[in-house]
Structure 1
Amino acid sequence: MDDATQASWAKGELREVLSLMMIGTCVWFAGTQLGLFSLLLTFTTFHQLHDLLMLAICMSFGIAAAAIRKSLTLRRVMISRDLAQSSAASVARHDAMTGLANRRLFQETLDTRLASVQAPAPVAVLLIDLDRFKPVNDVYGHAAGDAILCAVADRLRALLPIGNVVARLGGDEFAILYDYGKDRETVGRLAQQVINALSQPLPWGESRIDIGATVGIALASPEISTAETLLHAADLAMYQGKRDGRGAFRFFQAEMGIALRARAQLEQELRLGIECGEIEPFYQPVVSLPGRELIGFEVLARWRHPVQGLLAPDAFITLAEETGMIADLTWALMRKACTDARSWPSHLQLAINISPLQLQDRQMPARILAILTETGFAPSRLEIEITETALVNDIEAARTALTSMQSLGVRIALDDFGTGYSSLYHLRELKFDKLKIDRSYIASVPLGAERAKLVDAIIALGSSLGLVTTAEGIESSDSVDWLAGQGCTYGQGFLFGAPMTKVATDRLLTEWTDGAGNLVLDRAANGPTLAIEPRTAAAA
């Protein structure tokens, strides 16, 4: 408190005392004039001192009232200050949204627990990271994201035994401090219970939101004996679980640090690679059956890494989906592919895959339209491929997105048919233009009649629904003849060409053009020889 404030406070107190003394004087004056003090004359020895005595008494009451009022005011201020300090301390150690302990309180509690017993303490830290949470705010809004975090907090509280601590460390990351006593096996059981609980769908309006959780576990040991080192070890274990496919728990092991550093570096390089245009489209031919006329290309991503060379999708697509970079990658790939294909014959189509996360984005049709408008590529030449996995979370959102794209003239293909969750249900509920038969079915055709019947049934199903069919992974001429005989519409595979660059594709178009200007594969050759990658399914 500065001097000016102190002086103002002192003047205020003096004014208050004088005011109350003046009130006492007024009471004395009124009492004297009205004879209210006459009853006290019999008890007063010196009558001449009566007026002065009553004045002093009245003024004393004023001073006493001022003192009492000040005392009560100070008490209220002290109580308010204590409450504010207690509230501030609670806020500083708890998450405002979920009410859980925050990182600070969690670390303090963990350090206290580790110091209270002789090392190593029977303490485990479970670090929980939500799966598929990042797109929620973009797709459903921040209110939905906040609701999910609160629901996760409630589910974790319900699971945790009394005496243990659950905290929200920040974002979609939670932590549990668990004292497992003499039974270390309970740590794994608790981690699995957490995964099961958080994998249950969360209702939001008329939709449901499916997330999940990956859990990293670190146990206190002589080498890992502080809150900081335990949290770091659990973080490494959690990232290992993410790399292994998510929805699992992993215990910390020393070698995990090396893998995590490599992943972090690859993530940084991928983000930079997307920004710098290192992810480029490769084009795999799609032909009609049985004539093998070229009808278009499927767009496949390749990363031209400055150090590691050309990388196939399995080296970076999963990472892009986990880190939320898949949307930027896909839109950049689509923009480049549409630009490349503008100079090709106008009947050739482009097929490009959309990730499950993108299908939940209500702005996806608008983004596609913006790219088509920017590049001048006709919507009727674009085909969007989606997998059944993308349809599971929210079929109504999928229906809206697909209808919007088809109204633009864009075709929709159901990719990898037969490998998803509920193929017939999706065919009934949604309108597709094409079925793509998964390569695993095509590869099984030569193995026996029973396998061939499955492919025949898919082709017949597509035909009965008015859908064209594309067989993926064709690698032999015998497969072409059999598929054509069953009524399969289109074929795609290394027999017709591996994914290739724009330059190689331009050269291919020149070589496949006959005298009449038609694009036809050379029937005498065993497929084109322009593929620049090994002819193996793994390279696709």
Structure 2
Amino acid sequence: MFDTDLSYEILERAELVSALHRLVEGEGLLLHYQPIYGLSARKVQSYEALARWNHPERGMIPPDVFIRLAEETGLIHQLGERILHIACREALTWPAHVNVSVNVSPLQLKNRKFPEIVRNVLQETGLDGARLEVEITESVLMDEYEHKNVILSELKALGCKISMDDFGTGYSSLSYLWKFSFDKIKIDRSFVQALPDPTAKEIIQAILGIASIRAMTVTVEGVETAAQLQMVSSMGCSEAQGYYLGRPQQYANTDRREVEMALAWG
């Protein structure tokens, strides 16, 4: 039977898919950058690149909508490469000690040629591979582990750093830390939001202990208050990220961020 609402949804999806092809070419694609601070040096260590879609008629479309659509349509490979290229190119305008962090879809890591794509982007933009941080979630490793382990190893051979994002929200986080030598783990914001709850604090401290053994940097996400910043800093976390320290913005301004950090720290 004909369903008006369903018909509308199908047409809307078809229109978005059509527009998504134009997005892949760069039309309406923006990158916003959120700073990640080193807590000991109190300086910006890197910026996380966050994709935004400014649709000419619909305005800003949420990333979870168009990234999911790109994955469903297979356009995630072209879109991901475009995002990577823009992020690396713009990172060249930052101070040499500031890295750029780019999120990678599980589907991108299924592509055996992904390391070659990254290598080509680095060569085309001139960015040192050591300044690129590739962020994945542990869901990436839940299937075809051996295949993806090879790809991640090849990315590290290019000098790239590999980060596990949203650590602590999955089922097999600890086993992945032993299987692969990550450079960084990012503690999910839910643990920071739970502070000063003793259990949350104990979990963060346990993660810090494991990271120390494995020589990994630890970034805490979701820092939204001065009290949270002081707590994670006193616990020995390496880096912090969150709205209190800076919201995602289209242009990364490291000098201004340093001033903001000094004011935020108090």
User: Structures share a fold, TM > 0.5?
Assistant: yes
Q: Which runs of 5+ in 2 are unaligned?
A: none
Q: Residues of 2 paired with 1:485 and 1:276: CA distance? A: 43
Letter in 2 for 1:405: L
Q: Is the 8 A contact 2:222 2:241 kept in 1?
A: yes
Secondary structure (helix, strand or coil) at the match of 1:409 reads coil
Which of 435, 452, 464 aligns to 2:201? It is: 452
The alpha-carbon distance between structure 1 residues 349 and 373, as it changes in their structure 2 partners (threshold 3 A), is same
Residues 119-138 of structure 1: matches in 2 within 5 Å?
none
> Counterpart in 2 of 1:469?
218
Cα offset, 1:520, TM superposition: 5.5
Q: Is the 8 A contact 1:279 1:329 kept in 2?
A: no
> Counterpart in 2 of 1:260?
10
Is 1:271 paired with 2:21?
yes
Letter in 2 for 1:283: Y
The alpha-carbon distance between structure 1 residues 520 and 526, as it changes in their structure 2 partners (threshold 3 A), is closer
Secondary structure (helix, strand or coil) at the match of 1:451 reads helix
Cα offset, 1:525, TM superposition: 4.1
Q: Residues of 2 paired with 1:410 and 1:365: CA distance? A: 10
Secondary structure (helix, strand or coil) at the match of 1:523 reads helix
TM-score by length of 1: 0.47
CA deviations on 1:426-471 (whole Å, 9 max, x unpaired) are 111111111111112211124x212222222212221122111000
Secondary structure (helix, strand or coil) at the match of 1:356 reads coil
> Counterpart in 2 of 1:65?
none
RMSD of equivalent CA atoms? 1.8
Q: Residues of 1 paired with 2:213 and 2:265: CA distance? A: 33
As a proportion of its length, which structure holds more helix?
1
Is 1:509 paired with 2:254?
yes
Is 1:335 paired with 2:85?
yes
CA deviations on 1:235-265 (whole Å, 9 max, x unpaired) are xxxxxxxxxxxxxxxxxx5531121111111
Cα offset, 1:487, TM superposition: 1.2
Q: Is the 8 A contact 2:181 2:214 kept in 1?
A: no
Cα offset, 1:268, TM superposition: 1.1
Residues 390-405 of structure 1: matches in 2 within 5 Å?
390-405=140-155
CA deviations on 1:372-426 (whole Å, 9 max, x unpaired) are 0000001010000111111111110111011111111110011111112311111
Count of aligned residue pairs for this structure pair: 266
The alpha-carbon distance between structure 1 residues 408 and 351, as it changes in their structure 2 partners (threshold 3 A), is same
Letter in 1 for 2:227: D
Is 1:500 paired with 2:249?
yes
Q: Is the 8 A contact 1:290 1:481 kept in 2?
A: no
Secondary structure (helix, strand or coil) at the match of 1:316 reads helix
Is 1:487 paired with 2:264?
no
The alpha-carbon distance between structure 1 residues 481 and 357, as it changes in their structure 2 partners (threshold 3 A), is same
Q: Residues of 1 paired with 2:14 and 2:194: CA distance? A: 39
Which of 292, 295, 298 aligns to 2:45? It is: 295
Secondary structure (helix, strand or coil) at the match of 2:263 reads coil
Q: Which runs of 5+ in 1 are unaligned?
A: 1-223, 225-232, 234-252, 513-518, 528-540
TM-score by length of 2: 0.94
Q: Is the 8 A contact 1:304 1:310 kept in 2?
A: yes
> Counterpart in 1 of 2:70?
320
Larger C-alpha radius of gyration, 1 or 2?
1
Secondary structure (helix, strand or coil) at the match of 2:207 reads helix
> Counterpart in 2 of 1:53?
none
Which of 139, 157, 162 aligns to 1:407? It is: 157
Q: Is the 8 A contact 2:245 2:264 kept in 1?
A: no
Cα offset, 1:270, TM superposition: 1.4
Q: Residues of 2 paired with 1:408 and 1:525: CA distance? A: 36
Secondary structure (helix, strand or coil) at the match of 2:169 reads coil
Q: Is the 8 A contact 1:414 1:432 kept in 2?
A: yes
CA deviations on 1:252-290 (whole Å, 9 max, x unpaired) are x55311211111111111122222432121110010114
Q: Is the 8 A contact 1:434 1:469 kept in 2?
A: yes
> Counterpart in 2 of 1:354?
104
Letter in 2 for 1:523: A
> Counterpart in 2 of 1:229?
none
Residues 177-188 of structure 1: matches in 2 within 5 Å?
none
> Counterpart in 2 of 1:21?
none
Which of 116, 135, 139 aligns to 1:366? It is: 116
Secondary structure (helix, strand or coil) at the match of 2:25 reads helix
More relative contact order, 1 or 2 (CA 8 Å, 6+ apart) = 2
Q: Residues of 1 paired with 2:115 and 2:128: CA distance? A: 14
Q: Is the 8 A contact 1:442 1:471 kept in 2?
A: yes
The alignment-based identity, stated in percent, is: 36
Letter in 1 for 2:237: C
